[in-house]
A and B are shown apart, each in its own frame.
Chain A
Amino acid sequence: MIAIIDYKAGNLTSVVKALRFLGANDVVVTQSPEDVLRAEKIVLPGVGHFQSTQLLTDLGLTQATREAVANGTPFLGICVGLQWLYEGSTEAPSTAGLGHFAGQCERFPAVFEGAELKSPHVGWNSLENVREDSRLLRGVAPGSFVYYTHSWRAPVSADTAAATLYGGAFTGAVERGNVMGVQFHPEKSAETGLKVLKNFLDL
């Protein structure tokens, strides 16, 4: 069973549809810590405000996720779901993230290298420095395009599996062991996105 965690942050329909299209039959949209603990895989989607991740802690889902990933359950965070894997975000300083990866998510700078930078970052951008040992990005060529829509971003670190350039480099995909995240929307990134989701399903 694949547990898709619903924390009332946007629309989960597209993620569910894409996973089913790829052959995942047992997909459960849930707010239950028990489902998270017994799931074979966990997906945390989400668009919107970092503040909404507070509900994860309030419902006991943060603790359940911590236990599940410690037991080796593959976890995929999408968009705000990736950001939640870090220590926190300047978007909602009082809400803590999972802290699995070091660092804070920050807003895109208003000005980069002397030029005004539009925010949100919306559209198709390329994945660079794709880590060769990444299981999530297996078969994804550097330069492949994926669809982004976000105003906050995670910093680049040793756990970064691929970076994207917009106002400097940020983490497009992150991966350490069974814990993974993508800032882009794989469910909306055509063939490349489906490949990433398929890689996750195949773990």
Chain B
Amino acid sequence: MLTKRIIACLDVRGGRVVKGIQFVDIVDAGDPAELAHRHAAAGADEIVLLDITATHEGRGTLLDTVKRTAEKLFVPFTVGGGIRSAEDAAAVFDAGADKVSINSSAIARPELIGEIGASFGAQAVIVAIDCRRAAGAALRGANGVADAEVYVSGGRKPTGLRVVEWAREAEQRGAGEILLTSMDTDGMRNGFDCELTRAVSEAVQIPVIASGGAGSAAHFAEVFLSGKADAALAASIFHFGITDSRALKAEVEKAGVAMRLPC
């Protein structure tokens, strides 16, 4: 039976994993390669590494980090942040990534999705969508989903695009998966935006990875069961008092969701 995936996300800045608490108080959390292996050994189904600064100057550092992380990592490995061209993507694949995640650059030039896919396959292209429900709408308001808007540049810039429409276009242009982050729920630890996740999941055929708002095992179960997510991502899983992915997965499975266990 196809299981739902728990994805561990590492936010990297200048070659180190950092973690912020509600986007402030960024603290050093360690070496990416070491943490990626620890997550994989602890049962994570997949690893995502996001270069959260993604400066031009930092590309060399990032590629070196990707290379070191991928060296002995035998679960799927995605890298995102600052990938603006098919050449950027090729360098990241060459360093050992299995998939790339593109966000602002896909909106700036949607052809990029197909260009990367042409050389590396659609399965290797994740389109990340950061979104926020319309200003003034209640978090779980009746029309919030239809009006939810796509943001770029780390959530600073509204695009005028509607989430469901952009997800459909990304799919048509050859995206292999959608990584959907709700900026409304991100960092709140009150649960994923299940309504929004479900709307996107039902609108596309490709897998949807939910992100933003995880605070407990119950939240993961909810986004799989009611949000129809195919995978869920946790950036700060260890902030919840859950020891590792394996423990989390055991809890989620108890709630009735198929997980890769034992792992």
Interface contact A188-B260, CB-CB below 8 Å = no
Contact of A17 among B5, B93, B96, B124 (CB under 8 A): B96
Interface contact A123-B40, CB-CB below 8 Å = no
Tell me whether B166 is interfacial, beta carbon within 8 Å.
no
Q: Closest Cβ of chain A: how far from B177's Cβ, in Å?
A: 7
How many of chain B's residues touch chain A, expressed as a range?
20 to 34
**Across the interface, which residues of B come within 8 angstroms of A118, CB to CB?**
205-207, 230
**Smallest CB gap from B72: residue in A:** A21
**Across the interface, which residues of A come within 8 angstroms of B4, CB to CB?**
123
Give the contacts of B40-60 with A (CB-CB under 8 A).
Answer: 40, 45
Give the contacts of A149-175 with B (CB-CB under 8 A).
Answer: 149-150, 165-166
Give the contacts of A84-112 with B (CB-CB under 8 A).
Answer: none
Q: Closest Cβ of chain A: how far from B111's Cβ, in Å?
A: 18
Interface contact A125-B205, CB-CB below 8 Å = no
Question: In the complex, what distance in Å separates the CA atom of A88 from the CA atom of B46?
Answer: 31
Known: A166-B2, A188-B74. A122 touches B123 (CB 8 A): yes
Q: Closest Cβ of chain A: how far from B76's Cβ, in Å?
A: 5
**Smallest CB gap from B44: residue in A:** A190
Tell me whether B231 is interfacial, beta carbon within 8 Å.
yes
**Smallest CB gap from B99: residue in A:** A149
Question: In the complex, what distance in Å separates the CA atom of A188 from the CA atom of B96?
Answer: 12
Contact of A10 among B75, B94, B124, B177 (CB under 8 A): B124
Q: Closest Cβ of chain A: how far from B40's Cβ, in Å?
A: 7
Known: A47-B121, A125-B3, A190-B263. A13 touches B96 (CB 8 A): yes
**Across the interface, which residues of B come within 8 angstroms of A31, CB to CB?**
none
Contact of A123 among B5, B96, B121 (CB under 8 A): B5
**Across the interface, which residues of A come within 8 angstroms of B206, CB to CB?**
118, 120, 122
How many of chain A's residues touch chain B, expressed as a range?
20 to 34
Please encode chain A, from 122 to 164, with 1 for each CB lying within 8 Å of some chain B CB and 0 for all others. Answer: 1111100000000000000000010101100000000000000
Tell me whether A9 is interfacial, beta carbon within 8 Å.
yes
Please encode chain B, from 164 to 201, with 1 for each CB lying within 8 Å of some chain A CB and 0 for all others. Answer: 00000000000011000000000000000000000000
Q: Closest Cβ of chain B: how far from A195's Cβ, in Å?
A: 11
Q: Closest Cβ of chain B: how far from A121's Cβ, in Å?
A: 7
Chain A residues in contact with chain B, CB under 8 A?
A: 9-11, 13-14, 17-18, 21, 47-49, 118-126, 145, 147, 149-150, 165-166, 185, 187-191, 193-194
Most central of A118, A123, A125, A189 by chain B CB within 10 Å: A123
| With A125-B1, A147-B75 already in contact, 13 other A-B pairs whose C-beta atoms are closer than 8 Å | A10-B119, A11-B93, A13-B70, A14-B70, A21-B72, A48-B120, A119-B205, A122-B207, A123-B4, A123-B231, A125-B2, A145-B3, A149-B123
Interface contact B123-A123, CB-CB below 8 Å = no
**Across the interface, which residues of A come within 8 angstroms of B34, CB to CB?**
none
Interface contact A190-B96, CB-CB below 8 Å = no
List 8 interface pairs A-B (beta carbons < 8 Å), by A numbering. A10-B121, A10-B124, A21-B72, A48-B120, A122-B207, A185-B76, A191-B74, A193-B74
Question: In the complex, what distance in Å separates the CA atom of A125 from the CA atom of B259?
Answer: 9
Interface contact B121-A9, CB-CB below 8 Å = yes
Interface contact B2-A123, CB-CB below 8 Å = yes
Question: In the complex, what distance in Å separates the CA atom of A65 from the CA atom of B3?
Answer: 36
**Closest 6 CB pairs between A and B?**
A48-B121, A47-B121, A124-B260, A149-B123, A145-B260, A125-B2
Question: In the complex, what distance in Å separates the CA atom of A175 from the CA atom of B74?
Answer: 23
**Across the interface, which residues of B come within 8 angstroms of A149, CB to CB?**
123, 176
Q: Closest Cβ of chain A: how far from B229's Cβ, in Å?
A: 11
**Across the interface, which residues of A come within 8 angstroms of B124, CB to CB?**
10-11, 47
**Across the interface, which residues of B come within 8 angstroms of A18, CB to CB?**
74
Question: In the complex, what distance in Å separates the CA atom of A124 from the CA atom of B3?
Answer: 6
Interface contact B1-A165, CB-CB below 8 Å = yes
Interface contact A123-B1, CB-CB below 8 Å = no
**Across the interface, which residues of A come within 8 angstroms of B94, CB to CB?**
13
Question: In the complex, what distance in Å separates the CA atom of A48 from the CA atom of B123?
Answer: 8
Contact of B75 among A17, A121, A188 (CB under 8 A): A188
Contact of B176 among A21, A122, A124, A165 (CB under 8 A): A122
